[in-house]
Copies of this chain bind each other. A is one copy, B any other.
């Protein structure tokens, strides 16, 4: 089990470093590690979970299953993301989390979440910070699904994913390895898989992106971000739990 002082996530510049005090606390808070394979469900919609996770490595989707089987991907999960707050705070997950690649996660105990609030207000503040940022992204997603057409939506999703992967240091001059399939992108954007394919082709023809066999390349980031309605800023550093 990796010691929190040697946490590989902290090598990524997008995360705020731990103070020595935080390291001590997190060592006590962390229970174990676990791994998952593509397709595994880490957290089940409708169920409680005694375990909370921080993603060390790998990718996943958060998704909501409707009564009749339709599926909405609420957002994508990246290394550093904290999973299970809903189960931790509200008792029951309202969405599922499913691995799309092999994953490695840190495991925490739900029952000790209250300790964190009682003993470590700064960590509690960070947790709320994370929740607030999450809320902001969900709001942006709602605006995208509600107001933008297919081209803008796909541009938005690719831009956001690329931005996040780059911040994680997973980009090369050869482009980034996209850990999601077109079908998942479609489920995230409220589009059919067929129309998503058409739309990606359009972006290709417009000379904005190249996306082939899981490799995404930005040919014209400026124009892509404009189309997506996003500023080309670097993401703010975020705390880790």
Residues of the B chain whose Cβ atoms lie less than 8 Å from the Cβ of A86: 132, 135-136
Cβ of A206 under 8 Å from chain B: no
Q: A128 contacts which of B89, B133, B139, B229 (Cβ < 8 Å)? A: B89
Q: Known: A139-B95, A145-B142. Is A125-B117 also a contact (CB below 8 A)?
A: yes
Q: Report the minimal beta-carbon distance from A27 to chain B, rounded to whole angstroms.
A: 21
Cβ of A134 under 8 Å from chain B: yes
Q: Is the CB of A133 within 8 A of B90?
A: yes
Interface 9-mer from A32-40, A64-72, A101-109: A64-72
Query: Among A62, A72, A142, which residue has the most Cβ atoms of chain B within 10 A?
Result: A142
Cβ of A9 under 8 Å from chain B: no
Nearest B residue (CB) for A146 = B190
Q: Is the CB of B145 within 8 A of A94?
A: no
